[in-house]
Amino acid sequence: MISDKMKEYVSKSSIIRAMFEEGKKLSAVYGDENVFDFSLGNPNVEPPESIKKAVFEILNEESANLVHGYMSNSGYGDVRSAIAENINKKHNLKLTEDNLVMTCGAAGGLNIILKTLLNPADEVITFSPFFGEYENYVNNFDGKLVIVPSDTETFEPDLNALEDKINPRTKAVIINSPNNPTGVVYSEKLIKDLAEVLNRKQEQLGTSIYLISDEPYREIAYDGVKVPYILNYYRNSFVGYSYSKSLSLPGERIGYVVCGSDADDFDDIVQSLNVANRILGFVNAPSLFQRVIAKCLDSKVDVNIYKKNRDILYNHLVDIGFSCVKPQGAFYLFPKSPIPDDVAFAAEAKKFNLLIVPGSSFKCPGHFRLSYCISYDKIKRSLDSFDKLMK
Amino acid sequence: MISDKMKEYVSKSSIIRAMFEEGKKLSAVYGDENVFDFSLGNPNVEPPESIKKAVFEILNEESANLVHGYMSNSGYGDVRSAIAENINKKHNLKLTEDNLVMTCGAAGGLNIILKTLLNPADEVITFSPFFGEYENYVNNFDGKLVIVPSDTETFEPDLNALEDKINPRTKAVIINSPNNPTGVVYSEKLIKDLAEVLNRKQEQLGTSIYLISDEPYREIAYDGVKVPYILNYYRNSFVGYSYSKSLSLPGERIGYVVCGSDADDFDDIVQSLNVANRILGFVNAPSLFQRVIAKCLDSKVDVNIYKKNRDILYNHLVDIGFSCVKPQGAFYLFPKSPIPDDVAFAAEAKKFNLLIVPGSSFKCPGHFRLSYCISYDKIKRSLDSFDKLMK
């Protein structure tokens, strides 16, 4: 009796569940400490202490009906103002509360943006490899996800291929930097070139093409690399932000969407984001955590913990012969699979108690993803298994 | 550039916004204390003290990465088990964690149920008057909402009309008891009769017809009235529950969906609810508040506060000549408009600083809704305005 669309999703998700169950079986046989699960993006670094402090303060000082009550579907005005000012300071912008809508994480944010933009059969472009949910989100509104490849030596998007794929039905382009699954950070030059392509095509076609930057990993960046803020480079921009990784709060579903005031049809857009939050059933971003993050705008998780993980794992893999772009952000490595069949390689890895995700899951076969948001000690103990696997 | 569907929503919501702005204008002129806003369903009763206590305990005692981290898209297993046991005790059932999916409020719950059930053009029936969002939620999945009237003397649904409207495309029937906007509670006999109609039509048509009970007001019931639990009366049942009103936590977006194990295609359904939570962008119900409610299963807001409000307002309105079904639950009155045009009547009410919602908004013209989740004192001071309005 379930819908045709969901039948397909359920059968796909059964495969993932089977993998997960197999992992649990391995743990039962070999002990949890001897199974090396690099498959999940669940942050292992603790949220900053300021989160707990903020919760206590708010519950002690603010009215319970304010803290836990309904507010505008866009979120509390004072929270949005505080975030806007914080962004302005960092990126030299002039945002106000009217440029922000608080969302149930970046996932909620992307969905209200796509609900706002897409008529059935409209196209959204993204670059492979990419986070698989983009396809589902676009599909929620009967849009079509169009995939443009990246150069697999650098994982920078192929902008010529992008230009070729843009047509009158193209409503948006989604980018994700720092990137899941590659860890690559898009440079300022790349963002400028991308903006140039989009501006040129907008003019040629007489349409609006929105650039959507999915930024759950913005704060997880290493080696002093800068993550450009796209509102400074392209007028028709959305940023979908999440505190899932920057504050290690993925379960709390808290984030926001930013749209610049000079975007085409700005007034309709912000009003539509507000309404979409309501009619899609989000209603509003969770209220207590809206107020919490407003008190923790300069807090961050300890990114050095992830950096140490990246360094030991990346260095070891390269030493033993894996080919891999050195990631400058997020908490993923995306090495080449030593055999062309990445699914077979992932199955092989399991024999050494290594749980990894084939690149095919990100529409980039011949690679595999390692999430290194697990303990340093476990990564260290896993290195031996990678040696054996490589042999 | 926004989508055609959203253009329509945005223009509708502009009307509501205009009303809201007008209300603010009235407050500015006459003072907030002299404007009687009966238009919003935002609980004014404080959450029980146990909520705050539970938050403090959890943050002090449980690991921050557990409390704020990802879990199964269906929610924490221990939380679902605890809720299942609590329901079993109250309603003599045998639910387990597998019968429950934690959701972002009842709105999130209804959306994952409808995503699970609906192919485009499938039909969902509800009874007027009804909460307007049902139409939007069904529309999210390209379904069609079919409206069956209630008897306006009792606000019990017309089951003959229901039977006539059921056809092979009918996938679900949504009920809401205690009801928004009428405050009526469906009796056990009514639920039994409803189940009989659905069973008969299922057999005739050879289809599955799911009964969805939207229950944010279950605990807000007066005069010892029983709210029947539909899993005890009909096999193909869903309950969409929310803590928004029972614990005064509407901003926290916390609730759950229950489906009975003997529902048709139960395994596919629960798996689909899980996947729908993910792909619609909810991902999971907010994590801290999942853990909080598991510690507050026997907590309730003080329903007597609402009862006192109902009594003074209902008694006064009836005394001065309004005709109104006496509500046994929720925090709404739905009197007949003394003039046939309910929209004109609401405009008239505004002249006496009374903000009310016309029945047309609930597809039941000739009535108006009063939300009495405001302070007793304010209700008392508003009575004079109702007198003047009636004259």
DSSP secondary-structure letter at A126? E
Runs of H (alpha helix) within B31-147: 49-61, 64-67, 77-91, 105-117, 133-140
The pLDDT-based confidence of B322 (bands split at 50, 70, 90) is very high
Tell if the CB–CB gap between B68 and A250 is shorter than 8 Å: yes
Tell if the CB–CB gap between A252 and B7 is shorter than 8 Å: no
Two tokens, residue B19: 């009303």
Percentage of chain B lying above the pLDDT 70 cut: 100
A220 lies in the same domain as A348: no
Does position B159 have pLDDT exceeding 90, yes or no?
yes
How far B107 CA lies from chain A's nearest CA (Å)? 5
Q: Which of A39, A149, A3 is nearest to A370 (CA)?
A: A39
Two tokens, residue B239: 């309950």
Residues of chain A with pLDDT under 50: none
Put simply, the chain B residues between 325 and 384 with a CB less than 8 A from any chain A CB are none
Q: Give me the domain span that covers residue A334.
A: 4-47+301-390
Number of Cβ atoms within 10 Å of the Cβ of A144: 16
Tell if the CB–CB gap between B282 and A253 is shorter than 8 Å: yes
* CB contact A141 to B (< 8 Å): yes
Phi and psi, residue B332, nearest 5°:
-130, 150
Q: What pLDDT does residue A15 have?
A: 72
Q: What pLDDT does residue A167 have?
A: 98
Number of domains chain A is built from: 2
The string of pLDDT tens digits covering residues A194-212 is 999 999 999 999 999 999 9
* CB contact B141 to A (< 8 Å): yes
B57 lies in the same domain as B15: no
| Residues on chain B touching A107 (C-beta within 8 angstroms) | 281-283
Phi and psi, residue A304, nearest 5°:
-60, -30
Two tokens, residue B346: 């609401």
| Residues on chain A touching B118 (C-beta within 8 angstroms) | 3
Number of Cβ atoms within 10 Å of the Cβ of A101: 29
A25 lies in the same domain as A73: no
> Using an 8 Å Cβ cutoff, are B324 and B333 in contact?
yes
DSSP secondary-structure letter at A237? E
Q: Residues with Cβ < 8 Å from B6, sequence gap 6 or more?
A: A115, A116, A272, A275, A276
Q: What pLDDT does residue A59 have?
A: 98
Q: How far apart are CA B65 and CA B55, in angstroms?
A: 15
Option in A69, A248, A272 nearest B42 (CB): A69
Phi and psi, residue B161, nearest 5°:
-65, -40
A63 lies in the same domain as A145: yes
The pLDDT-based confidence of B13 (bands split at 50, 70, 90) is confident
| Residues on chain B touching A40 (C-beta within 8 angstroms) | 70
Question: Mean pLDDT, to the nearest integer, of B350-372?
Answer: 95
Option in B55, B275, B286 nearest A10 (CB): B275
How far B116 CA lies from chain A's nearest CA (Å)? 5
A62 lies in the same domain as A122: yes
| Residues on chain A touching B249 (C-beta within 8 angstroms) | 68
The string of pLDDT tens digits covering residues A172-189 is 999 999 999 999 999 999
Q: What pLDDT does residue A33 have?
A: 87
Distance of CA B81 to the CA centre of its chain: 24
B107 lies in the same domain as B237: yes
Q: What pLDDT does residue B12 have?
A: 84
The length of chain B in residues reads 391
Closest chain A residue to the Cα of B67, Cα to Cα:
A251
Q: How far apart are CA B96 and CA A122, in angstroms?
A: 42
| Residues on chain A touching B116 (C-beta within 8 angstroms) | 2-3, 6
Q: What pLDDT does residue B40 have?
A: 84
* CB contact B67 to A (< 8 Å): yes
* CB contact B24 to A (< 8 Å): no
Which of B20, B103, B275 would you mutate first to test chain A, the one with the most A CBs within 10 A? B275
Number of Cβ atoms within 10 Å of the Cβ of B61: 8
Sheet architecture: strand order including A123-128: A100-103, A255-259, A237-242, A210-215, A170-175, A123-128, A144-149
Single residue among A260, A294, A328 that ends a domain in this structure: A294
Q: What pLDDT does residue B33 have?
A: 87
Does position B21 have pLDDT exceeding 90, yes or no?
no
Q: Residues with Cβ < 8 Å from B254, sequence gap 6 or more?
A: B102, B104, B105, B242, B243, B244, B285, B286, B289, B290, B292, B293
Single residue among A294, A322, A344 that ends a domain in this structure: A294
What ipTM was predicted for this assembly? 0.96
Number of Cβ atoms within 10 Å of the Cβ of B326: 14
Option in A4, A107, A268 nearest B2 (CB): A268
If residue A347 lies in a helix (H) or strand (E), which one and from where to where?
Answer: helix A342-350
Does position B14 have pLDDT exceeding 80, yes or no?
no
Question: Mean pLDDT, to the nearest integer, of B29-48?
Answer: 91
Tell if the CB–CB gap between A280 and B280 is shorter than 8 Å: yes
Closest chain A residue to the Cα of B65, Cα to Cα:
A46
Does position B95 have pLDDT exceeding 90, yes or no?
yes
Buried b (16+ CB within 10 A) or exposed e, A40-66: ebbbbbebbebbbebbeebbeeeebbe
B270 lies in the same domain as B326: no
> Using an 8 Å Cβ cutoff, are A137 and A111 in contact?
yes
Single residue among A263, A294, A325 that ends a domain in this structure: A294
How open is the CA angle A50-A56-A62, to the nearest 5 degrees?
120
| Residues on chain A touching B211 (C-beta within 8 angstroms) | none
| Residues on chain A touching B140 (C-beta within 8 angstroms) | 279-281
Nearest 10 degrees: Cα torsion B26, B31, B34, B40: 60
Q: How far apart are CA A139 and CA A129, in angstroms?
A: 18
B342 to A181, B19, B53, B153, B244: CA distances (angstroms): 56, 15, 45, 17, 29
Put simply, the chain A residues between 171 and 230 with a CB less than 8 A from any chain B CB are 171, 208, 210
The pLDDT-based confidence of B286 (bands split at 50, 70, 90) is very high
A118 lies in the same domain as A149: yes
- Domain with residue B278: its CATH number is 3.40.640.10
* CB contact A61 to B (< 8 Å): no
A9 lies in the same domain as A55: no
* CB contact B143 to A (< 8 Å): no
B40 lies in the same domain as B127: no
Option in B3, B105, B284 nearest A118 (CB): B3
Q: Residues with Cβ < 8 Å from B212, sequence gap 6 or more?
A: B110, B113, B172, B173, B174, B175, B237, B238, B240
Put simply, the chain A residues between 235 and 264 with a CB less than 8 A from any chain B CB are 248-253, 264
Rounded CA Rg of chain A: 21
How far B284 CA lies from chain A's nearest CA (Å)? 7
Angle between helices B287-294 and B77-91 (to 10 degrees): 40
Put simply, the chain B residues between 113 and 132 with a CB less than 8 A from any chain A CB are 115-119, 122
| Residues on chain A touching B67 (C-beta within 8 angstroms) | 251
Tell if the CB–CB gap between B65 and A46 is shorter than 8 Å: yes
Question: Mean pLDDT, to the nearest integer, of B20-39?
Answer: 87
B215 lies in the same domain as B322: no
A272 lies in the same domain as A383: no
- Domain with residue A328: its CATH number is 3.90.1150.10
